[in-house]
Amino acid sequence: MAKTEVILIHNIVGLGGESDQVKVAAGYARNYLLPQGLAIPVSAGNKRRLEALRRRRAEREAHEFNTMSELSKSITKFTCLVKVKTGEDGKMFGSVTSANIADELKHQFDITLDKKKIHLEQPIKTLGDHEIDLRLHAEVHATLKVRVESTTPLTKSDEKAAEEKGAAPRTEKRGHRGDIFAPTKAIAKPAAEDNAKPRAARPEKAK
């Protein structure tokens, strides 16, 4: 395959940045890079533009570094919530990928982050809290907290197990339930007291 040299005038991930002189397939340069204004052919005249391209690149990289440094300070305070479907046994259907996390960051916090900056050794396949490495810049790394929760409603057995797990053991002594809630019995009065009638006072005899 024929190769040709071009000077990049825009940053292209995986290829290079402004002012880089790179070799690419001739067809790629002719059909994409040159028509899109992403590169220029190598020539004596175009080489004079290298200094201006280097200055522009330095400014862009400094701006990216400052932006990612500020983001790294704030993003560590967030917990990104990802909802997934699970079976009755609690196992997830599928997994959580870098693209899923990037979507949730945009939806929940309005943070636009390239999924390539979200480093997962392998997709997340378990519920709970996870710490994810973010490679925001060549010199800037951060850690993002991701919480994976199920959207599947709990069954009665799951709810009972959760309640038992969360219930604190009771150690204080209590009286018998029957003693507390038994109806109060009326105290019987002595029969003599109930049947006794008040006696009329006798008139005193005149002295």
3-48 maps to which CATH number? Answer: 3.40.5.10
Residues in contact with 149: Cβ distance below 8 Å, sequence separation at least 6, in sequence order: 81, 82, 83, 84, 127
Looking at domain 72-150, its CATH class is: alpha beta
The pLDDT tens digits for 149-165 are 998 865 555 555 556 65
Number of residues written out for the chain: 207
33 has pLDDT over 80: yes
The pLDDT tens digits for 158-203 are 555 556 655 544 444 444 444 434 444 444 444 444 444 545 455 5
For β-strands 128-137 and 118-119, DSSP reports them as antiparallel
Cα–Cα distance measured from residue 13 to residue 29, given in angstroms and rounded to the nearest whole number? 15
Residues spanned by CATH 3.40.5.10 within the chain?
A: 3-48
Residue 206: phi and psi, rounded to 5, are -70, 135
Token pair recorded at residue 93? 């259907």
Residues spanned by CATH 3.10.430.100 within the chain?
A: 72-150
pTM beyond 0.75: the answer is no
The pLDDT tens digits for 38-58 are 999 988 888 888 888 988 999
**Can you give the pLDDT at residue 71?**
94
Between residues 81 and 155, the one the model is more confident about: 81
Q: How confident is the model at residue 123 (pLDDT cuts 50, 70, 90)?
A: very high
